[in-house]
Structure 1
Amino acid sequence: MSQKPATEGDARELAEQLRPALRRLFRQLRRHSDHQDISLVQLPLMLHVLENPGIGVGELAQLEGLRSPTMTGHINSMVAAGLVKRTEPADGDRRRVGLVATAHGRAVIEAKRRRRTDQLTKALLQLSPSSRAALWAAIPALNDIELNDIDA
C-alpha cells in the first residue's frame, strides 16, 4: 500500500498536534528532575561539551546563539562547579582554549539521563501495548525530523 505525498495542510495539522504533545512531555520531564548539580542553562552547554570535547568558548557561544562574554560567564560558573575544565591551548595559539567535561560533569549528566529515563519508563508502562507499539513505530520518523535547515 503506497502512501500519498504529504500536503502542506497535512504536515501543518500534524505539526499542530505534535508540537504541544512534545512540549508537554518535555516540560514534565524537566519539572520532575532535580537541578541541584546543574542549572537549566548549563545543561545544554554540558551536552555540547560532552559531544564536542575541546570545543572553544566562541564555538559554544555560536551554537547557543549567545555572545562570547555571556558564554564566558556561564563557563566560569561551570568550571567553579567542577563540571568542565579548560584544556591547554592548542597549536601554540594561547587564545584558543578548549573545554572538556570533568568526571563530575559526566556523572551529573549521566545521573540526570538515568532519572529522566526512569521517569519516562514508568510513564510508558502506564500505556496500553498498542500505544507503546505506536510510539516504537514513530521513532524512526521522529529521528528523521531536522529543524536546523528549515527557513521558518
Structure 2
Amino acid sequence: MHDTGDLQELEEAMALAEALRPALHRLYRQLRRENDEPGISPLQALLLVAILQQPGIGVAELARLENLRGPTISGHIKAMEREGLVTRSAPDPEDRRRSGLIATDKGRALIQGIKQRRTDWLAFELAKLSPEARAAIRAAIGPLGDIGQ
C-alpha cells in the first residue's frame, strides 16, 4: 500500500524526468560534436579515456568495462596503436598472453584537447545565460552528480 505522498513524489519525479531527459540529450549531443578530432572515433575516445583512468588495463577487462565484445575492442585498439595513441605494456609474467594498455603522450594530449574544446564550448554557452540561470545550474550540479551513483 502506497500513501498518496509517495505516489505524488513519484508522479513529480516522472514529470521532472520527462522534462530533463531531452535537455540532457541535446547537451550530450552538442558536447559530443566538440569531439571532431581526425583519426579517432567517439568510441575510440571513450576507450582512450578508460585507458587513461586505468593504465595497464587489458583488452578483455576493457571490453567488460565498456560492455563490448572483445573482437570489437581489439580492432579499435589496433587502430589506436597505429595512430600512436596507445601502446602495450610488457607481457604479464604470470600470463604471457596478457599485456596492459597504456595511453601515449599523443593519446593524453588528444583527450586533453577534446576536454578543453568541450569546456570552452560549455563556458561560452553558460556565459550567455543570466546570473540567476547560472546559479540554478550551479545548484543542480550536486544532485545531478548523485543520479546513477
TM-score, normalized by the shorter chain, greater than 0.5:
yes
**After the TM superposition, which of the residue ranges 33-42 and 68-77 deviates more from structure 2?**
33-42
Aligned counterpart in structure 2 of residue 50 of structure 1, from 49, 52, 60 = 52
Would you tell me which structure has more helix in proportion to its own residues? 2
The corresponding residue for 1:96 is 98
Q: Which SS does the other structure have where 1:120 is aligned?
A: helix
Taking the aligned partners of 1:45 and 1:91, their CA distance within structure 2 comes to 25
Q: Which SS does the other structure have where 1:146 is aligned?
A: coil
The corresponding residue for 1:86 is 88
Aligned counterpart in structure 2 of residue 129 of structure 1, from 109, 114, 131 = 131
2:125 is the counterpart of 1:107: no
2:146 is the counterpart of 1:144: yes
Q: Which SS does the other structure have where 2:101 is aligned?
A: strand
8 Å CA contact retained: 1:90, 1:97: yes
User: Residues 37 and 114 of structure 1: is their aligned pair in 2 closer, same or farther, counting only changes over 3 Å?
Assistant: farther
Number of aligned residues: 144
Taking the aligned partners of 1:59 and 1:131, their CA distance within structure 2 comes to 41
TM-score (norm 2): 0.90
Q: Which SS does the other structure have where 1:99 is aligned?
A: strand
Taking the aligned partners of 2:110 and 2:44, their CA distance within structure 1 comes to 11
Q: Which amino acid aligns with 1:115?
A: R
The corresponding residue for 1:69 is 71
Moved over 6 A (4+): none
Gaps of 5+ in 2: none
8 Å CA contact retained: 1:57, 1:99: yes
Q: Which SS does the other structure have where 2:111 is aligned?
A: helix
Would you tell me which structure has more strand in proportion to its own residues? 2
Query: CA offset at residue 41 of structure 1?
Result: 1.5
CA RMSD in angstroms, aligned pairs only: 1.6
Q: Deviations over 1:41-100 (max 9, x none)?
A: 201101100101000100111111211111111100010111110111223311111101
Q: Which amino acid aligns with 1:141?
A: P
The corresponding residue for 1:13 is 15
Taking the aligned partners of 2:121 and 2:39, their CA distance within structure 1 comes to 18
The percentage of aligned residue pairs carrying the same residue is: 52
User: Residues 135 and 42 of structure 1: is their aligned pair in 2 closer, same or farther, counting only changes over 3 Å?
Assistant: same
TM-score (norm 1): 0.88
8 Å CA contact retained: 2:35, 2:42: no
Taking the aligned partners of 2:94 and 2:35, their CA distance within structure 1 comes to 42
